[in-house]
Chains A and B, each alone.
Chain A
């Protein structure tokens, strides 16, 4: 196995550095010791409560450029998206 791609929604309590450290710890000494973890933490999708502008941010409380608060949207999923594996003979 070369690489694992995981997606995390913004409402999932995932800290990328801690996740990478846990990944390194769990693959050490296994046949997958060289495998990389690609973690894609999605930002919040923000929709302004006043002007309706939409943008993304890591900060769910970020104010709109018009100065008004926005409603944060995002899921709490943690999903394995794909794996890159070596196929014998390929």
Chain B
């Protein structure tokens, strides 16, 4: 006998993600899921952002890694609203891990919650965590072919960041090709080119301010 079902395979995850989204909405918190490969500069971006926006925008961070609390320690220098999630061998975060970690934050103290996903351009894309937007992050050092090789992330992201643009003179990286691939895969998403190292963060900070409908200056 054939039984028609039509149900999301990730139904449980999606249900918990909806609870997360509701908790965040109630507190008026804008939430983004930051997805990028290992070493593209996710934690460095958040460190620089926390430092630059201290006293201007209240950010909390949930940071996922297989092991160590190194990222949380780096971020804890700038905010006490940071929770490390160790996934063991897991290559992505799921909504339940985020829910448990959210319980350790004081949501009333936050304007923005950043979920720094495990360094991975593939698996995190498929899991709704309760975020408002997905942000895909690449860096010049990784090569210009990364968007073309990872269409799901580029297609699903609302914002794409290209970090380490200060390295453009030193490494083979075809910026026009990178931009064209991003545009082809996702004509709606904004693409911001930044350098965390050189503190060239203006477009990113302005974007963040726009999301919470507030003018934020460096």
**Which residues from chain A contact B148 at a C-beta distance below 8 Å?**
61
Please pick, from B4, B123, B126, the residue contacting A82 in the complex, using a CB distance under 8 A: B4
Q: CB of B2 within 8 A of chain A?
A: yes
* Cα distance A44–B184 in the bound complex, in angstroms: 13
**Residues A79 and B155 in contact in the complex (CB < 8 Å), given A13-B125, A61-B148, A87-B1:** no
Q: How far is the CB of A39 from chain B (nearest CB, A)?
A: 11
Contact status B1-A11, CB under 8 Å? no
**Which residues from chain A contact B3 at a C-beta distance below 8 Å?**
82-85
Q: Fill in one digit per residue for A62-79: 1 if any B CB lies within 8 Å of its CB, else 0.
A: 000000011110101111
Q: Fill in one digit per residue for B29-51: 1 if any A CB lies within 8 Å of its CB, else 0.
A: 00000000000000000000000
Q: How far is the CB of B52 from chain A (nearest CB, A)?
A: 33
Q: Fill in one digit per residue for B56-68: 1 if any A CB lies within 8 Å of its CB, else 0.
A: 0000000000000
**Which residues from chain B contact A90 at a C-beta distance below 8 Å?**
1
Interface size for B (C-beta < 8 A) is: 24
Binds A, one of B6-14, B190-198, B200-208: B6-14
Contact status B125-A11, CB under 8 Å? yes
Contact status A74-B155, CB under 8 Å? yes
Q: How far is the CB of B164 from chain A (nearest CB, A)?
A: 24
Contact status B187-A86, CB under 8 Å? no
**Which residues from chain B contact A80 at a C-beta distance below 8 Å?**
5-9
Q: How far is the CB of A84 from chain B (nearest CB, A)?
A: 5
**In the complex, which of the residues B122, B148, B155, B185 has the most CB atoms of chain A within 10 Å of its own CB atom?**
B155
In the A-B complex, the 10 residue pairs with the closest CB atoms: A78-B9, A60-B151, A11-B152, A69-B184, A13-B122, A11-B155, A87-B1, A83-B3, A80-B5, A80-B7
**Can you list 9 residue pairs at the A/B interface with Cβ under 8 Å?**
A10-B151, A10-B152, A11-B125, A72-B151, A77-B8, A78-B9, A81-B4, A82-B6, A83-B5
Besides the known contacts A76-B125, A84-B1, 14 further A-B residue pairs in the complex with CB atoms under 8 A apart: A11-B155, A12-B125, A60-B151, A60-B185, A69-B184, A71-B184, A74-B155, A76-B152, A76-B156, A77-B8, A78-B8, A79-B6, A81-B6, A83-B5
